[in-house]
Structure 1
Amino acid sequence: HRLDPAASPLVYSLFAYTIYVITLLLVLHIIGVNTAGLVAMVGAASLAVGLALKDTLSNIASGLLLMFLRPFKSGDYIECGSIKGKIKGIGLFSTTLVSLDGLYVSAPNSSLWGSPIVNFSRNATRRIEITVGIDYGDSTDKALAIMRDLVENEPLFLKTPCPQYFVSALADSSVNVTFRAWVRNSDYFDLTWKYTDEVKQRFDAAGITIPFPQRTVHLEERSGEGAAL
């Protein structure tokens, strides 16, 4: 009952192949075939097959490690290199996922085991960070006060760890102000989308400008031989 649903395909495959092999050996023994010699021959052949199919065997071994160490479970959203998606199941050779836009993804087990796995669903809480650039002529204190008011009046933002409000960068065209707040994992995307829009609206209402990239050009007048250039 503690087996994760994602590991079910792998466990079923292992049991099925084991039963097939045992059944075959029993049938051969019943009909009088020398199974001891057959097993020795199969063992010798297995070495050659194993060398030829080392990548395939690596996928099986990786699948077993994923099943026992459980870096993810069914329904978790993970990122592993270029592989992204929600886990559906771990098979004997590959792991199946579904991408955010509903595409079927089949990844070799060894590619998941051999690379760092980022599990977006594992932890109960997650930190939101929203950064907005304001004009150099606007007040950073006023902008940060608006952000603080938004966070303090939203009950879905957690009080611990404490939210943070600060000037994060003096960029080429803007002063970047940032707030960080912790939320439940299930609320992360909804609150990120909501308060990205809320900050924009509150800044507009307060007369705080969010500038677009710009560059200041100084023209110099030159006299003499180079004046006509």
Structure 2
Amino acid sequence: MKMLDRLIEKYAGFGMSVIEATIIFIVGWYAVKIILHILSKMMRRSQIDAIIENFVISILNIGLKIIVIITVIAQLGVPTTSLVAVLTTAGAAIALGLQDSMKGIASGITILFSKPFIKGDIIEIDGYVGTVQEIQLLYTIVMTFDNKMVVIPNNDLVSSSFVNYSHEDIRRVTMTVELHPDSDVQKFKSALMKIIDQHPYALKEPAPVVKIGEYKERSVSMQIWVWSKNEYFYDLNDDLWVAVRDIFKEQNIKIPSQQIDVHIQQNDIKS
């Protein structure tokens, strides 16, 4: 009889533990959903990048649910010390195995938070120039102007230099034109400045510059600097080169030619 009472007491206690564990599981699981939902709303209001939001929510979702499961197991009377130790060891092993990937993720988060460039910017790195299509946690995807997709590891972007052509509102067209030494430099300069002054994309401030950059042995090097809004840079650059070609034709300016001096040394051979 005493044995039966003990069994009833034991299983009754275990039954209560099961009920309590079930309640903890249901409430905990639901609480995780509520916490993540609230956090997601807060992050959206803060205008945090969607990639960072999804990453943070995913990590918290896994972490919080593991805590709920460990709490449920502990409520059932199962020792959790060994389980926590196993999970910690497994986590450390996974982190070690994914060390490079973790560095890439850290670099991706750095880019998304610091915003050295954003989607739609034109950047140049390792000889590639193109538009940023997508910023992922491990990679940044750039589409070049000839429609090639370049996948750049975020580690490379964080650890090396790159050029962001879209960061500033205005950009300078820089041209170097070689004139024949016999050309009327002032006439060329006046004709080009007139075109620049009338061009709708050329800014008045900073003021455009057309000047002699260097006198060379067989040419006069002209430096041309004209500012425009970033979105009109390529149109203005193209128009100015067309204008230079037209001025060359109108003023009959000769293109400097390369001269090669050949010296022939003749040795008299005596027999």
Q: Please indicate the TM-score interval, normalised by the length of the shorter structure.
A: 0.7 to 0.9
1:20 corresponds, among 62, 69, 73, to 62
2:196 corresponds in structure 1 to 151
Higher relative contact order (CA 8 A, sep 6+): 1
Q: What do residues 78-105 of structure 1 show as CA deviations (whole Å, max 9, x unaligned)?
A: 1233454322332222222222222333
2-structure distance, mates of 1:97, 1:2:
27
2-structure distance, mates of 1:158, 1:177:
20
2-structure distance, mates of 1:9, 1:84:
24
TM-score, normalised to structure 1, is 0.83
Amino acid at match of 1:129: T
On the 8 A contact 1:25/1:35 being kept in 2, the answer is no
Question: Is there any run of 5+ residues in structure 2 with no aligned partner, and where?
Answer: 1-44
1:3 corresponds in structure 2 to 47
1:103 corresponds in structure 2 to 148
Q: Taking structure 1 as reference, are residues 128 and 84 closer, same or farther at Cα in structure 2, changes over 3 Å only?
A: closer
TM-score, normalised to structure 2, is 0.71
Q: Kindly report which structure 2 residues correspond to 1:64-143, keeping only aligned pairs within 5 A, or say none.
A: 64-143=109-188
- Residue 23 (structure 1) shift: 2.5
- Residue 216 (structure 1) shift: 4.9
Q: Taking structure 1 as reference, are residues 116 and 136 closer, same or farther at Cα in structure 2, changes over 3 Å only?
A: same
- Residue 128 (structure 1) shift: 0.8
Structure with the higher helix share, 1 or 2: 2
- Tell me the SS of whatever aligns to 1:72: coil
On the 8 A contact 1:77/1:120 being kept in 2, the answer is yes
Q: What do residues 91-122 of structure 1 show as CA deviations (whole Å, max 9, x unaligned)?
A: 22222222222233322221111112311111
2-structure distance, mates of 1:35, 1:182:
68
1:60 corresponds in structure 2 to 105
Identical positions, percent: 26
2:261 corresponds in structure 1 to 217
- Residue 201 (structure 1) shift: 0.6
Q: Taking structure 1 as reference, are residues 93 and 151 closer, same or farther at Cα in structure 2, changes over 3 Å only?
A: same
Amino acid at match of 1:180: W
Q: Does 1:161 align with 2:203?
A: no
Question: Between Structure 1 and Structure 2, whose CA radius of gyration is higher?
Answer: 2
1:39 corresponds in structure 2 to 84
Amino acid at match of 1:179: I
Aligned residues: 223
**C-alpha RMSD of matched pairs (Å):** 2.8
